[in-house]
Structure 1
């Protein structure tokens, strides 16, 4: 009986691997999974799903082992491999808008502390939150547009 971890649990994955191996000793896939399980101590979700497909085809494997491994697979996270959308162009375009507004304000008021802070935020390539964008627009309207 295989035991793993500090909780002294029965290793159902190892038992299922052994049962599949006893069913067909020439199965390369099962032997490969056994080797990986011995080396790393775990299998990926896809590997476990493949093991379950093989185990369900065999008639003499206990149903409780299959059900236990199915429960383990259901608990595992499913990784989403969809590509991440590129949003860098949108931030650069909007960043340019804020840079021009900041430059105009600083041309008239070079020591404006809040605008200098927001300029530093943009230079560090940090996206400005909506509140700070509204703040720049407000300063621009108050200091530049009203003065002209």
Structure 2
């Protein structure tokens, strides 16, 4: 369990971008991991089908926070298909030994050790799940 909480994961968890909720967002969603109670709320604005503004409120373990930090650092300018691809690649890495997600989400490789901890997977995927739901609400 110690290797799971590496210095890099803890650093990401404490340096999360876009932690201010948006006023009057085009789309918003809150997702909860039932097993651990972690929550992520995402607000987005779109311009030309791409995320132009992003805000997140993350109440999760360090792993969920680290995932949200990587996602938040890369999310501006992306469309729904790219976000969905990143989510699918992260889920495959965690659940079936798939490769590290491709750019722009390659930084999620830091979460590879979490593959062995199935009870953490839902928390790690929350930021993607909330973002995708917010995207759908905005369109």
TM-score by length of 1: 0.26
TM-score by length of 2: 0.27
Q: Which has the higher contact order (CA 8 A, sep 6+)?
A: 2
> Higher strand fraction: Structure 1 or Structure 2?
2
